[in-house]
A = this chain, B = another copy of it.
Amino acid sequence: MRSLPDASVDLVFADPPYNLQLGGDLNRPDGSHVDAVTDEWDRFDSFKAYDDFTRAWLAEAKRILKPDGALWVIGSYHNIFRVGAILQDLGFWILNDVVWRKANPMPNFKGTRFTNAHETLIWASQGEKAKYHFNYRAMKTLNDELQMRSDWVLPICGGQERLKEDGHKVHPTQKPEALLYRVLLATTERGDVVLDPFFGTGTTGAVAKRLGRQWIGCEREGLYREAALKRIEKELPLDESALATMQSRKSAPKVAFGALVENGMIQPGTEIFDKKRRWVATVRADGSLAYGKQTGSIHGLGKELQGAPSCNGWTFWHYESGGEVKPIDAARQLYLLATED
């Protein structure tokens, strides 16, 4: 970070070590062993050592950020209060704290506390009077025409998305792409420079590339760096029309199509079409659709194209998945199953 010039970066996203301070081993009720975060990089001798470390990287972040840049940090109760207090002391101005509510957290196996089911993000500007960027419309569209709230329900990173090597996870704390997707879509513009000082396996870089943002990553561990570069190499940027986000008010769909897009079930840029393929529309990053110069929600655009008094976009639009044509409602059903509380 020290090598970067002053005021050169639009956004810093940081996922620093949490300083977990774990004790002995932990076993599940069935006797199996829990694979804990015991890496050297998460060990600090004291709160003071952790505070010094935190103050140092936050001060650098503040120097590198443009005057209208912003900072995101993610953490758990082990570290987030210290991080939050220090960034306030350094002059950052907190805009929101955001809670990532995990759809599928690890249970508390011993029944000793509440299930630790969330992590906390802090979003802060350079100072009380500083400007910052917030794509209000894109967030509202993504959230089914309701204001995006400060609590986000997202699954943890697993399945195909989780990087593995010989069947073992490459990084113990890989973050879900959907989280970064929302952060970058909410608080950066196309072409912005995003810095991640704890790059790990490069989730920030991968999502930045996909969304047409530039990225810089700092990572000490060579293994993580290699995995990150390989991963980002494979990532394809979305094209122009998919990246255009909604600018004007549209009718309110009943279910958030945007959630499917954010979640990756429907990729931005996907072409969806009516059953007879009379119209083929492109899905955009915020869940809106584009058909030539016409744009709108899945319902609104379907209605306009048909000249009908109304349209249920969920059954009108179809997509191809595994050589099969399905209504997008099928994706919603899958999503509902996956995220039901």
Contacts and interface: CB of A to CB of B under 8 A. Distances in A.
Interface of A is mostly: mixed
Given A47-B89, A81-B88, A82-B85, A114 B148 contact: yes
A295 to B, nearest CB: 20
A134 B112 contact: yes
Contacts of A191: none
Interface in A44-99: 47, 76-78, 80-86, 88-89, 94-99
Given A31-B311, A115-B150, A309-B31, A94 B77 contact: yes
A306 B30 CA distance: 11
B84 A149 contact: no
Nearest to A140: B111
A51 to B, nearest CB: 8
Interface residues of A, number: 54
A27 interface: yes
Interface stretch (A10-18, A100-108, A195-203, A213-221): A100-108
A259 B97 CA distance: 27
A174 interface: no
Contacts of A247: none
Interface in A18-50: 25, 27, 31, 33, 47
Contacts of A207: none
A77 B94 CA distance: 7
Nearest to A186: B114
B151 A111 contact: no
Interface in A126-185: 134, 136, 139-140, 147-151
Most chain B Cβ neighbours within 10 Å, of A76, A150, A306: A150
B108 A147 contact: yes
A118 interface: yes
Contact of A31 (B33, B134, B310): B310
A308 B33 CA distance: 10
A99 B76 CA distance: 12
A38 B81 CA distance: 25
Given A113-B96, A134-B113, A150 B118 contact: yes
A86 B310 CA distance: 43
Given A77-B84, A88-B81, A309-B27, A151 B101 contact: yes
Interface of A: 25, 27, 31, 33, 47, 76-78, 80-86, 88-89, 94-99, 101, 105, 107-108, 111-118, 120, 122-123, 134, 136, 139-140, 147-151, 186, 248, 306, 308-311
10 contacts: A47-B89, A77-B97, A80-B81, A81-B85, A85-B85, A99-B118, A107-B147, A111-B136, A113-B134, A116-B150
